Amino acid sequence: MEKIDAVSKVSGSYPHEAFPAFSRSLQAELNFLTRTLPDLENALDSVDAKAMSKFLTSVIRQPQGEDERQLFSSPARKGGLGIPIIRQTAERNFETCSEASEHVKSAIIQNTVFDWAQI
């Protein structure tokens, strides 16, 4: 949350520099958390609310509502900013990562040779 505050503070003066810092760096950290920790949806509500109230408001320079937040979560080719609503993607990210790593995890737990042919 401190990182959102820091990027939001800079975004008023340097929006073009702050946007990639938020959309690439902070989003990557949040995506890592959603891929590795289950049941984060409720915890991420406050993170997403802060991202909307602090960062997006300072970049766009006006308060944003839920409709705008939905629009901003769309990819740029659809008129959005490509900043996903992290709580909406958390469960899918965790499930996808868990399924993708199941073969590796079972090989480690069972102390067997990892076989790419079984994937």
| Average pLDDT score over the chain | 84
Structure tokens at 30: 């949040």
- Secondary-structure percent of the chain, ordered helix, strand, coil, rounded to 5: 75, 0, 25
pTM for the model: 0.73
- Measure the CA dihedral 25/48/96/33, to 10°: 60
Q: What is the pLDDT of residue 119?
A: 62
At what angle are helices 86-109 and 41-50 packed, to 10 degrees?
A: 140
- Rounded to whole angstroms, the Cα distance separating 68 from 48 reads 13
Segment-wise mean pLDDT, segments of 10 residues, the chain, 119 residues: 81 84 86 91 83 79 80 88 86 92 86 74
